[in-house]
Amino acid sequence: MKYTFHVEGMTCEHCEKAVTRAIRQLDRSAEVKADRSINQVEVESSLTTEVLRQAIVDEGYTVAA
């Protein structure tokens, strides 16, 4: 499945990498594109949206509803 999340709090390249790493720790085959300039993370993964959202939140970022 392909998901798009609006993520608040990503301010630098490190933030993008942290979100990407958090998701890939749960799904090594996930395709992740984090773009801080538009506060967006696109994920293609077999995981549920809830699991992906929680991985981002656990990294310290806010996922808009």
Give the separation between CA 26 and CA 36, rounded to whole angstroms.
21
pLDDT score of 65 more than 90: no
pLDDT one-digit tens code per residue, 6-58: 999 999 999 999 999 999 999 999 999 999 999 999 999 999 999 999 999 99
Does pTM surpass 0.85? Answer: yes
Enumerate the β-bridge partners of residue 4. Answer: 42
Q: How far apart are the first and last CA of the chain?
A: 18
Domain membership of residue 14 as a residue range? 2-63
pLDDT for the residue numbered 47: 97
pLDDT score of 63 more than 90: yes
Query: Closest Cα to residue 22, out of 6, 37, 12, 34?
Result: 34
**CATH number reported for the structural domain that contains residue 50 in this entry:** 3.30.70.100
pLDDT for the residue numbered 39: 97
Q: How many domains does the chain have?
A: 1
